[in-house]
Amino acid sequence: MKRRTFLAALAAATMLQVGVAGSALADDAKPLEGQDLSVLLPPWGTFPKEMTDQFEAETGINLSSQTLGWDEIHTKVVTSMIANTAPASATEVDWSWVGQFGAAGWYSPLNDDFSEDVIKDVPTSKIFNFDGKLLAVPYNNDFRVLIYNKTQLEKAGIKQAPATPDDLLKAAKAIKDANLADYPIGLPLSATEGTSTAWYLLTKAFGGDLFDKDFKPQFLDPQSGGYKALSFEIQALKDGLIDPSATGLKDVDVQELFKSGKVSFDIAGWAGNLSVYSDPSKSQVADDVAAALMPSVNGKTRTIGLPEAIGVPVSAENHDAAVAFIKWMLKPETQMNSYNALGNLPPRLSVLKQLEEQGKLKDGKVLLEQAASVEPLFADGTPGWYPEFSSAVSTAINQAAKDQISVEDALAQIADAAETASQQ
């Protein structure tokens, strides 16, 4: 009996070992091992080496990462795809490029590569649908929130975060008068996308919208939100609350100024940047940073969602390796690490809630409340002519900031550009 028991146990143990070995072999299987994968992303989407090393270890794929600025990536994608060559196997796809890229047929549909449950957990993925085709999958959950230096506000005698644009100006003036910051308001005014999106956001803060349902401009009237928003920016610049050098600064430059304590308000702050700003290894104001709901003129906060994603060009080599990279990017562990290292707020709702429950989301209650107010910039989807429109916006604002044209002329120039672009 004992022998039978022993033999049975031995057989079971042997089977277990075979099972474990078989499982290990299955886990170690790397069907894409040896393939080369090139990825093109902006600085805030480029994962640290320790993370990409993990991807290579898990998949056996040889990863080559290239980092370019947002505007440079768009230029490279357009010129490459027109020449029928892929800029990389997987690239940045901004929310604003969807109409243009979709109409041109430049990106492979990803609908069949991801489960319905995963896509449902990434609600902003719908922004990247074009004609029923999923062109890219978000790697961040970008929306804007007011980020400020609470210590500077307190030293200037301000007890709470600004709730209106006027409050913001008063707070900035108090900080400047107290010699706590030479130029308290951080805002890009160069001819770049960050300048355009900041104006869009302030248009919402002043209770306005860019267009009506027929894409008729809603910013030409002096009483409109868009007109007041640009007037706010130019007046703050003239009052010395915005650095004159802002005409040459991008949004990433403003972020560096905030981290150094040289500006008090990051008006168009990326929600995920709170984790970077509050990290002592990356920021000089780690103990001073706080977030507040975007100010508004009517007591109802509004903000815009501008997520970014990763897509696969139709002419790209190693499509499967690119999809594997996107799936790895969607893993909860990867999203947690991306948030900690880069400030990319997880696009997966399940991961975002997990961070809040664990107390790892800086000013989590503010972020979740602001997230509930996120609006798309274009209610019916980003039009294909958006890139031309955005370029015209940033150029006109830059000219107004340099005092080359008036606010009225800048907005008229933007309206004309919108009409021209939409008719092409």
Q: Which of 61-70, 110-119, 368-377 has the lowest mean pLDDT?
A: 368-377
Question: Are the C-beta atoms of residues 207 and 296 closer than 8 Å to each other?
Answer: yes
The pLDDT assigned to 141 comes to 86
For residue 83, pLDDT over 50 is answered with yes
CA pair distance 411, 317, nearest whole angstrom: 43
One domain for residues 403 and 314: no
One domain for residues 95 and 158: no
The pLDDT assigned to 58 comes to 96
Question: Are the C-beta atoms of residues 175 and 239 closer than 8 Å to each other?
Answer: no
The pLDDT assigned to 328 comes to 97
One domain for residues 49 and 180: no
- What percent of the chain stands above pLDDT 70? 93
Average pLDDT over residues 163-185: 98
One domain for residues 240 and 264: yes
CB atoms within 10 A of CB 363: 18
- Model confidence at 26, pLDDT cuts 50, 70, 90, reads very low
- Model confidence at 185, pLDDT cuts 50, 70, 90, reads very high
Residue 106 covered by a domain: yes
For residue 21, pLDDT over 70 is answered with no
One domain for residues 136 and 203: no
- Model confidence at 374, pLDDT cuts 50, 70, 90, reads confident
One domain for residues 137 and 160: no
One domain for residues 311 and 292: no
29-80, pLDDT tens digit by residue? Answer: 789 999 999 999 999 899 999 999 999 999 999 999 999 998 899 999 999 9
Residue 22 covered by a domain: no
More confident residue, 289 or 424: 289
Residue 4 covered by a domain: no
193-213, pLDDT tens digit by residue? Answer: 999 999 999 999 999 999 998
The pLDDT assigned to 192 comes to 94
The pLDDT assigned to 28 comes to 57
For residue 12, pLDDT over 60 is answered with no
Total domains, the chain:
2
One domain for residues 47 and 132: yes
Question: Are the C-beta atoms of residues 157 and 174 closer than 8 Å to each other?
Answer: yes
Question: Are the C-beta atoms of residues 255 and 172 closer than 8 Å to each other?
Answer: no
Residue 25 covered by a domain: no
Residue 80 covered by a domain: yes
pLDDT, the chain, mean: 90
Average pLDDT over residues 242-249: 97
Residue 2 covered by a domain: no
For residue 414, pLDDT over 90 is answered with yes
Residue 5 covered by a domain: no
One domain for residues 113 and 207: no
For residue 378, pLDDT over 90 is answered with no
More confident residue, 367 or 295: 295
- Domain containing residue 417: CATH number: 3.40.190.10
Q: What angle do CA 22, 23, 25 make, to 5 degrees?
A: 65
The residue whose two tokens read 């290894």 is 281
CA pair distance 402, 408, nearest whole angstrom: 14
Residue 330 lies in domain: 36-141+306-375
One domain for residues 161 and 279: yes
One domain for residues 198 and 130: no
Residue 29 covered by a domain: no
One domain for residues 151 and 253: yes
292-307, pLDDT tens digit by residue? Answer: 999 999 999 999 988 9
